Amino acid sequence: MYPDPSIVTRVTTLGAGPIGGGWAAHFLARGYDVTAYIHSEAERAALMAVIDTGWISLEALGLVEGASRDRLTVTTDLDAAVRNAQFIQESAPERLELKQALYKRLGEVAPKDCVIASSTSGLMMTDIQKDCPTPERTVIGHPFNPPYLLPLVEIIGGKRTDPAAVQWAAKFYEVAGKAPLIMKKEIPGFVATRLQEALWREALHMVANGEATPEDIDNALMNGPAPRMAVQGQCMAFHVACGEGGMATNLDQFGPALKWPWTRLEAPELTQDLRDRMVDGCNEIAAGRHFEEMAAQRDREIVAVLNAIRTARE
Amino acid sequence: MYPDPSIVTRVTTLGAGPIGGGWAAHFLARGYDVTAYIHSEAERAALMAVIDTGWISLEALGLVEGASRDRLTVTTDLDAAVRNAQFIQESAPERLELKQALYKRLGEVAPKDCVIASSTSGLMMTDIQKDCPTPERTVIGHPFNPPYLLPLVEIIGGKRTDPAAVQWAAKFYEVAGKAPLIMKKEIPGFVATRLQEALWREALHMVANGEATPEDIDNALMNGPAPRMAVQGQCMAFHVACGEGGMATNLDQFGPALKWPWTRLEAPELTQDLRDRMVDGCNEIAAGRHFEEMAAQRDREIVAVLNAIRTARE
């Protein structure tokens, strides 16, 4: 039903803000023809400013052959922008009624085999697609700020979304140079935002209680877990740090510490099922690699990150 | 009372594990004469393995002039190891009774003007120093794993610690190439561990509820917030992302979202006082820089990080 994601050459972006403009810049850098819909001519300068800012980074990361800002068309005509679209990335303001009305129109005008992805960070697709006459191809494709730089896109459909559209979006984002993550369930927030938000709330608690300043929080992150987390997620960080025993040792040995008041977030019950999911998940990621090999790789990459930051600051 | 931190040339480390050995490697790389106390000769091979592993990274980060692994002395004689020490980094096993007995002896033998820092990640110095005859110079100096790579050291004294010893330790760690962070209060856990632990508990909740796999968690972190967090902490990330309005806009506009069920961690009440602390704190870090300047710097550094990781993996 949907075309092969690798033959897509035209992308339509909706929105002139940092997210909409960031997406336009990203797709231009990946060699697509981009049609950017803006609500009014007054938004054109803002859109171009976001694209020009993003372009500096995108050039430094490496453009694909043929990529050019000349392949951008900006229009205030919504129907014209989406009528021949092969993929639509919507980054309109975060107001449900506005998005519902927009998806009603998009559902009528955009080709039926064109997947429409929303950048929303707070709304659920089940709500957004309520008045859309063709909701089966509407998904959430939530980027991480800044969207022209960070690879993550979290994808989930609504109740009336065709699972094939979710799969198509994941494949398309991958072809377009992003790191797609298909969510398992439609829940408020996304995997990365929930993790970040838990950390953020703990930070607010610490500041509220006079235990740390914002500067302490930021210094602790930048000099502590973050350089490692950029090259190795928290699950594998614990898995590798525990040597031969891996995640099993981590949970069996430090499981009781989950009851300690180390954060204001209460830990879940460490059931056998949860333990097994964590252990099995880490073993799957490890794919047979020995922990020493993974630790050596982690170290090489942290060194690269630290040296890169130092060089960039000199 | 304490010597100038910059004239210290000899460091004694206690412990042959990844933390103790990691510290020994770090101090050697910074050009110190290091005496490493190990509990028995059977631990020597493990200690050397940790140092040799760390050395690969430390060489890649750049040794200071004159740094050499030949300047390491390994001994099983505790008294001899600490009798002439100028600084002691203790990384003994995490058992309170063991540490209390150790600090009793250290307090008798080590010079009175020699600060003793514990790498403990879970015990409080007030408890560790209970039987120490000279508790005023004992502090916690908690590193982040791997200690030869990540700069953060969180510092806090116990009830009987001289505040001057805490200040001295912070200055010494800075001279020794670390990023010290003096904790405001003696609480269970440290700033970075609490932030990491909040994130970790949310991750466990998501896996327990079938909302994500360990692989999803790690991919979300590595492709989402982590590369940014390595160059810009979460407070400044929100401050800069909100443009002219900064942290004030973030809290005033998105404050209500703190009530949303975006994590299992309940947010603190967003009082005027908390709001002001966050806003003032970010403005202090910004030190007059315009958000566009900070965003451009963030982007340059994220590009450097992403390119460095890609190159290291090729």
Tokens linked to B71: 């300047």
Higher pLDDT pick, B295 / A30: A30
Report CB contact under 8 Å: A267, B201. Answer: yes
Distance from CA of A164 to the nearest CA of B (A): 20
pLDDT at B186: 86
In a domain, A31, yes or no: yes
Report CB contact under 8 Å: A211, B268. Answer: no
- Can you give the C-alpha Rg of chain B in angstroms? 22
Distance from CA of B280 to the nearest CA of A (A): 9
B9 and B102 in a single domain? The answer is yes
The answer to whether the CB of A191 falls within 8 A of the CB of B206 is yes
Distance from CA of A288 to the nearest CA of B (A): 15
Q: Which residue of B has its CA nearest to A271?
A: B208
pLDDT at A269 over 80: no
Q: Within the 16-35 window of chain B, which residues sit less than 8 Å (CB to CB) from chain A? A: 18
List all residues 6 or more positions away from B213 whose beta carbon is below 8 Å from its beta carbon.
A184, A277, A281, B207
A165 and A231 in a single domain? The answer is no
Q: Which among B183, B224, B241 has CB closest to A152?
A: B224
- What integer is the mean pLDDT of A20-45? 97
Instruction: Please report which confidence band the pLDDT of residue A153 belongs to, taking 50, 70 and 90 as the band edges.
Output: very high
pLDDT at B264: 66
- What integer is the mean pLDDT of A211-228? 92
Q: State the average pLDDT for chain A.
A: 91
Report CB contact under 8 Å: B235, A218. Answer: yes
Q: Which among A60, A189, A195 has CB closest to B303?
A: A60
pLDDT at A102 over 70: yes
Question: Hey, is the C-beta of A312 within 8 angstroms of any chain B C-beta?
Answer: yes
B28 and B144 in a single domain? The answer is yes
Report CB contact under 8 Å: A205, B268. Answer: yes
List all residues 6 or more positions away from A288 whose beta carbon is below 8 Å from its beta carbon.
none
Q: Which among B53, B193, B296 has CB closest to A262?
A: B193
Helix axes B214-223, A234-241, angle to 10 degrees: 110
Inter-CA distances, B234 with A27, A141, A209, B257, Å: 27, 23, 18, 17
pLDDT at B261: 63
- What integer is the mean pLDDT of A47-63? 93
**Which residue range forms the structural domain that includes residue A230?**
224-313
C-alpha A307/C-alpha B15 separation (Å) is: 29
Report CB contact under 8 Å: B224, A189. Answer: no
In a domain, A196, yes or no: no
Query: At A153, which amino acid appears?
Result: V
Question: Hey, is the C-beta of B111 within 8 angstroms of any chain A C-beta?
Answer: no
A178 and A231 in a single domain? The answer is no
pLDDT at A157: 97
pLDDT at B299: 81
For chain B, the domain total comes to 2
In a domain, A219, yes or no: no
Instruction: Please report which confidence band the pLDDT of residue A151 belongs to, taking 50, 70 and 90 as the band edges.
Output: very high
For chain B, the residue count is 314
Report CB contact under 8 Å: A220, B192. Answer: yes
To which residue do tokens 């101090």 refer?
B27
Q: Is B184 helix (H, G, I), strand (E, B) or coil?
A: coil
Residues of chain A neighbouring B228 (CB-CB closer than 8 A): 144, 149-150
Inter-CA distances, A139 with A22, A84, B48, B224, Å: 19, 19, 54, 19
In a domain, B36, yes or no: yes
In a domain, A210, yes or no: no
Query: At B111, which amino acid appears?
Result: P
A93 and A234 in a single domain? The answer is no
**Candidates B58, B144, B150, B191, partner chain A, best to mutate (most A CBs within 10 A):** B191
The domain boundary, picked from B130, B165, B182, lies at B182
Q: What is the CATH number of the domain that holds B79?
A: 3.40.50.720
Name the burial class of residue B77, with classes exposed (0-12), middle (13-18) and buried (19+) by CB atoms within 10 angstroms of its CB.
exposed
B239 and B127 in a single domain? The answer is no
- Cis previous bond, A93, omega within 30: no
In a domain, B209, yes or no: no
A30 and A175 in a single domain? The answer is yes
ipTM > 0.85, yes or no: yes
Distance from CA of A169 to the nearest CA of B (A): 17
Distance from CA of B162 to the nearest CA of A (A): 19
Tokens linked to B304: 């450097």
How many CB atoms lie under 10 A from the CB of residue A66? 9
B116 and B175 in a single domain? The answer is yes
Distance from CA of A113 to the nearest CA of B (A): 28
φ, ψ at A61 (rounded to 5°): -80, -20
Q: Which among A187, A199, A206 has CB closest to B199?
A: A199
The domain boundary, picked from B182, B215, B248, lies at B182
The domain boundary, picked from B155, B182, B209, lies at B182
Q: Which among A235, A257, A260 has CB closest to B217?
A: A235
C-alpha B254/C-alpha B249 separation (Å) is: 8
Q: Which residue of A has its CA nearest to B151?
A: A223
pLDDT at A103 over 90: yes
In a domain, A88, yes or no: yes
A13 and A96 in a single domain? The answer is yes
pLDDT at A310: 84
Residues of chain A neighbouring B309 (CB-CB closer than 8 A): 230-231, 301, 304-305
Higher pLDDT pick, A245 / A216: A216
The answer to whether the CB of A39 falls within 8 A of the CB of A90 is no
pLDDT at A261 over 70: no
Report CB contact under 8 Å: B203, A264. Answer: no
To which residue do tokens 């072809």 refer?
A175
Distance from CA of A83 to the nearest CA of B (A): 32
Instruction: Please report which confidence band the pLDDT of residue A208 belongs to, taking 50, 70 and 90 as the band edges.
Output: confident
Q: How many CB pairs under 8 A join A and B?
A: 398
**Candidates A178, A184, A196, A290, partner chain B, best to mutate (most B CBs within 10 A):** A196
Q: Which among B214, B238, B247 has CB closest to A285?
A: B214
To which residue do tokens 């820089």 refer?
B289
In a domain, A207, yes or no: no
Name the burial class of residue A206, with classes exposed (0-12), middle (13-18) and buried (19+) by CB atoms within 10 angstroms of its CB.
buried
Low-confidence ranges of chain B (pLDDT < 50): none
A242 and A114 in a single domain? The answer is no
Q: What element of type H or E holds A36?
A: strand A33-37
- Cis previous bond, B146, omega within 30: yes
- Give the residues across from A73 on adjacent strands: A35
C-alpha B142/C-alpha B191 separation (Å) is: 11
